[in-house]
Structure 1
């Protein structure tokens, strides 16, 4: 199960229990709409409550990342799992966004806010 929040220039996703292909398709739909109307967006993935993900999700993530290599500014991943952190770093091969792994939500949000503040100053 996932919960998705869309804010200006940011999509936040929290995954609970198993991350399924249906969940991933819902995420793709929200992100595609955000990119279409806002341009590159930041992502905040909270995977601390994720118990597992299906193989089709892993494959879909690779396909999606390759199709959207330039559509993300920053990607923050919240996790306590070394395996999930390693998987996130591996997926960075396909996207040009800056990606960081965080254990603390406040640090992840602060890092994403830094980028948003810099963009506001540049305009």
Structure 2
């Protein structure tokens, strides 16, 4: 399951609590594109839970979108305890002009505060 929420008009959040597959990637991209039609820059909060089933194939599928839109992000907060996702997120910094920060699940509230300012 993929839950979407809004912290502010130009901040979109996602919580992955189930399969993170090609369908989830398409949903995220669609939601982000909707925000980008209205705002020049947006911020993104994404969090996975212990129930998240994250596919490397889905992560790779999202790369072209990230390359295309990476300069339109202001801040990106990634909340995960998975070391391999932290490594991939650090590599993804190359595609974003945004400030990208990693947070553990225990730092969730700090991540929400950071992305909101």
Fold similarity call, TM over 0.5: yes
The count of corresponding residues between Structure 1 and Structure 2 is 114
Q: Give unmatched runs, 5+ long, in structure 1.
A: 115-123
Please say if 1:109 is aligned against 2:82: no
Distance 2:51 2:96 in 1: 22
- TM-superposed CA distance for 1:50, in Å, is 5.1
Query: How do 1:13-24 residues align onto structure 2 when only pairs under 5 Å count?
Result: 13-24=14-25
Contact 2:18 2:52 (8 Å CA) reproduced: yes
What is the aligned partner in structure 2 of residue 35 from structure 1? 36
- TM-superposed CA distance for 1:113, in Å, is 2.4
Query: How do 1:81-92 residues align onto structure 2 when only pairs under 5 Å count?
Result: 81-92=82-93
Deviating above 6 A after TM superposition, structure 1's stretches of 4 or more consecutive aligned residues are none
Q: Give unmatched runs, 5+ long, in structure 2.
A: none
- TM-superposed CA distance for 1:100, in Å, is 0.3
- TM-superposed CA distance for 1:17, in Å, is 2.3
Q: Which moved more, 1:19-28 or 1:3-12?
A: 3-12
- TM-superposed CA distance for 1:95, in Å, is 1.2
- TM-superposed CA distance for 1:59, in Å, is 1.9
- TM-superposed CA distance for 1:108, in Å, is 0.3
What is the aligned partner in structure 2 of residue 4 from structure 1? 4
What is the aligned partner in structure 1 of residue 52 from structure 2? 51
